[in-house]
Structure 1
Amino acid sequence: MKIELSKAKSDYEIILLEKDEIKTAADFKDFDFYDYKGEGLLNLSEKRRIYSAIKKRDFNAIANAAAAAIRAISKLKIKSARLCFDFKSECELKAAAQGILLGAYSYEKYKSDKKPKNLEKVLIDTNLKGAEQILANCEILSESVNFVRDIVNEIPAIYTPERMAKDALDLAKNSKVLKCEVLGESELKKEKMNAMLAVANASPHEPKLIHLSYKPKGAKLKVCFVGKGVTYDTGGLSLKPSDYMLSMKADKSGAAAALGIIKAASELGIALEIHSVLGCVENAIGSKAYKPDDVLIAKNGVSIEVRNTDAEGRLVLADSLAWAQENIKPDFIIDLATLTGACVVGVGEYTSAIMGNNYELQSDFYKAAKTSGEFFSILEFNEHLAEHIKSDIADVSNAANTRYGGALTAGLFLDKFIKDEYKDKWLHLDIAGPAFVSKAWGLNPAGGSGAGVRACVAFLESLGSK
């Protein structure tokens, strides 16, 4: 589906109205506003129009209203719809466009009775300066988010580390500005990435470290994204309960996001050098599985006591972060991971957490993320929590000796693999909550949401504008 800037007639109308406008309109006397939360829809099929109420004029309210309307008319036999709204800012236009393009997404690959997708285009008429370019950029960004959603939703029997490597190589092959290299098991052994290799040891699928690069001329800064790509996580010998194992195909969301970020940034022409490093493994069980009580020597020489094989993502990131610092030497390094259930407990399933050593950098990212429509909260490190990941037999333990502050102790573990010169240039984003949610929410469908892509692209744009 496309969005076009046009005054042409359409088959249907989508009309966004503020709550008070609907409440005072005579046509809506039967519309129920009891306990109204901004999700109201009224479909007048005989007039070939749908009204969608917005709670207030902010990004998420407008995006969610547009998404709700698109979903409601998606089954109709119409090819075009017009979005009617008095746009007062670039932000409002972006919100509506992303609501349409992201709200229309569905994953039906394995359904025999697929819903028809008749709607081909949505028309918008606005006098906002630069509207055509704004809409074009929204299409690029939304396509990248939906690309990530497809990856996250794909089943583990299909989506292995090898498949992620293929997708990355194909992305580079179809681009004039992206390059890709893939390190297999033998190369990882040469690189002494023993923590990552240990996680992959019981799987029949070879681990892969994937490196994508985008190097435009005149780039001001070099930014590296490191993504956790556990294509399926059983928990290893610290086996997850069956209920917790369901949806673990989404444990590759961080790596998928890193792919989507560099895809969007390169197509948007952001004037920064960008790298995406994806640590891809499957955490399986078997006779070759690594064990609690093992001690692993990571790439940077730090020894790790394994207390829990289900704390595997931080092991993959430890080696991936070390490799990225050594080989890329970025100005900023940001990792993305569905790292801890504790983060979901702490900030909820719709919010990601920002961690790091530099509060100013965390604040800059938070401000950029606010403009993207994604929810983030800053979690600050605490020196007392660091005591809980100390080990009696190694430099650090991969699991804390307390049940409290699990998102932060995981972040503090990663900090052990950040060189001193990068301490203030690093951010850790725990996207465990919003990366995969079982019910549709806002402009997101049930399943993979593409968490982190919009926020990270907004942060890149803020860096590029400085």
Structure 2
Amino acid sequence: MRNPLPPVPGKLLELEVSDDLRRGTPLATLIAAPSEEDGDAGLAEIGGVRPTGKAGDVQTVPAGRVRWLAGVGDGEPKQYRKAGAALVRAVSSALEEDVKAGQKAFRAFAVELPEDAGAEHVEELAFGLLLGGYRFTVTAEEPKPSLRTVRLITRHKDATDALDRVRELAAAAAFARDLANTPSNVKTPAWLADTAARVAGGIPNLTVTARDEKWLAEQGFGGVLAVGGGSAAPPRLIELEYRPRGATTHLLLVGKGITFDTGGLSIKPADGMHLMRTDMAGGAVIIAAVRAIAALRLPVKVTGLVPAAENHVSGSSYRPGDIVRHYGGKTTEVGNTDAEGRMVLADALVYGIKKHKPDAVIDAATLTGAMKVSLGVRTGGVFATEDALAERVTKAGERVGEAWWRMPLLEDLAETVQGSLGDVRQAPGGPGGIVAALFLREFVGDVPWAHLDIAGPARADKSYADVVPGATGFAARTLVELVASYA
């Protein structure tokens, strides 16, 4: 019997660039919306269909050379991403319908771009095509016929070079989705570590080391051990090291790797607990981003750390009221066992800074529900100790289509995380996203640091742009682009 779990990482569509159309290949063409001056008269019928040109609107043409019309709105690059995602979903549906009707399955289609489409338009369209049709299904059924190749019909001379970068960025987002979507009865901390090591194999200058619970105990990783202590699946620290020759800048990336979160003794409500398989989305984007950084051979030294644990309920679970000693010696008063992400990140931050002495540190985590309330589900929160680093993150996100908003590290609240029985308090109350960031700041010292809270955009319950329901891979592309900015 075939393994019902899809391959991780999954395979993306192949994208080709050409200036001609192969005979028999189904064709889609991109249509801009008419200007206000032209109105509906600005668009002529194609095959009996009058296109709207609205961004993301895909229409099927019953007969003729063109089978699909995909609107790109006002023609801005970001509209091409929306069009590509909607188009690949429509074409995949058409493929399924053809197969059900007994027709021969087509595995490739072509997209004809307007003559004025530049490299940026090609990149955005490619993101939509590569990620808009993403699927992750655990089933024993035989795989259904699916698309394999998309040919972009364009004469733009830089289109092929533009796609090389996009492929790796899209692959990083898709891989992060795969990791976060994998069910937690499979995705133990050990599985996550083994998967990270496997995908790093063969990539030059990239190594992965997995530290087990014995090593964590010997080194004093009290936060990771406390959180993982209630589970039969022991914790791991996953350490990815990318060491290109000649690199002078060193960045440390740290991601929360809670492979399932019950909330521990401070147990979560049952209604949303099934979604907690994605509570390691921060760790997933670190693993995926470091792999992409190495594959792109960026000339920047990067270390990725993912403290991985399952926050479970048992007689060995850690408790509210416990005092936990972290790596490096600082102690934390536990107030809520469901605030476990900051506990494991604290260990990893101190360890990574002490061992590797990076030039800057960036962590990513689905850390607080408060951030979802503050910014919604399509924008990530950025906390940073330096303006320049915060701007680097937000600008990197803009370039790859991920939205970020800087949040304040309010000094008036800094004293609330100071402890009485221990050095710091884990869950002191107050504005949740801010106090969580202030808690983490206690463990980074003077190194430039940015904390990315992705609790909102890491998961989606409906499709938009290149996102589909489930894990989104949000922040993977931003991190790759951020590292590239140091090159």
1:31 and 1:42 in contact (8 A); partners too: no
- The separation in 1 between residues aligned to 2:76 and 2:267, in whole angstroms, is 44
**2 CA distance for matches of 1:278 and 1:221?**
21
Instruction: Kindly provide the CA deviation profile for residues 326-349 of structure 1, in whole angstroms up to 9, marking residues without a partner as x.
Output: 111111111010111111100011
Post-superposition shift, 1:6? 1.3
Summarize the alignment of residues 96-245 of structure 1 with structure 2, pairs less than 5 Å apart.
Answer: 96-110=125-139, 112=141, 115-117=144-146, 119-245=147-273
Tell me the distance in 2 between the aligned counterparts of 1:384 and 1:459.
Answer: 30
* Identical residues among aligned pairs (%): 31
Unaligned runs of 5+ in 2: 1-12, 96-104
| Alignment partner, residue 413 of structure 1 | 439
The Cα of 1:110 is off from its aligned counterpart by 2.7
- CA offsets, 1:87-130, max 9 Å, x none? 5432211111111111121112337475430x221112333343
- What corresponds to 1:9 in structure 2? 21
SS in 1 for 2:166: helix
Q: Any gaps of 5 or more consecutive residues in structure 1?
A: none
Q: Distance in 1 between matches of 2:253 and 2:120?
A: 26
Query: Please, which moves more after superposition, 24-33 or 134-143?
Result: 24-33
| Separation in 2, partners of 1:387, 1:456 | 31
TM-score, normalised by the number of residues in structure 2: 0.89
TM-score, length-scaled by structure 1: 0.93
User: What is the SS of the residue equivalent to 2:467?
Assistant: coil
Q: Which amino acid aligns with 1:65?
A: A
Secondary structure at the residue paired with 1:440? Answer: coil
Please tell me whether residue 306 in structure 1 is matched to residue 320 in structure 2.
no
* Native 8 Å contact 1:7 1:123 kept in 2: no
Preserved CA contact (<8 Å) 1:304 1:397: yes
Aligned equivalents of 2:407 and 2:76: distance in 1? 25
- What is the match of residue 6 of structure 2? none
Q: In structure 1, what is the equivalent of residue 470 of structure 2? A: 447
Kept in 2, the 8 Å contact 1:97–1:135? The answer is: yes
Over 3 Å counting, the alpha-carbon distance change for 1:388 and 1:31 in structure 2 is farther
Q: 2:435, 2:246 → 1: CA distance?
A: 39
Distance 1:31 1:433 in 2: 38
Whether the 8 Å CA contact 1:16–1:66 is kept in 2: the answer is no
Alignment of 1:2-401 (within 5 A): 2-10=14-22, 11-20=25-34, 23=40, 24-27=42-45, 38-47=55-64, 48-75=66-93, 76=95, 77-86=105-114, 87-110=116-139, 112=141, 115-117=144-146, 119-401=147-429
Q: How many residues align?
A: 456
CA distance in 1, matches of 2:150, 2:177: 22
Structure 1 Cα separation of the partners of residues 319 and 137 of structure 2: 38
Distance in 2 (alpha carbons) for counterparts of 1:125 and 1:268: 25
Query: How big is the shift at 1:57?
Result: 3.3
SS at match of 2:336: coil
The one-letter code of the counterpart of 1:342 is: A
SS of 1:20 mapped into structure 2: coil
In 2, the alpha carbon distance for the partners of 1:72 and 1:172 equals: 34
Q: Following TM superposition, by how much is the alpha carbon of 1:172 offset from its aligned partner in structure 2, in angstroms?
A: 2.7
Letter in structure 1 aligned against 2:465 = G
Amino acid at match of 1:451: F
Cα distance between partner residues in 2 of 1:158 and 1:204: 13
> Secondary structure, in 3 states, of the residue corresponding to 1:377?
strand
Letter in 1 for 2:408: E
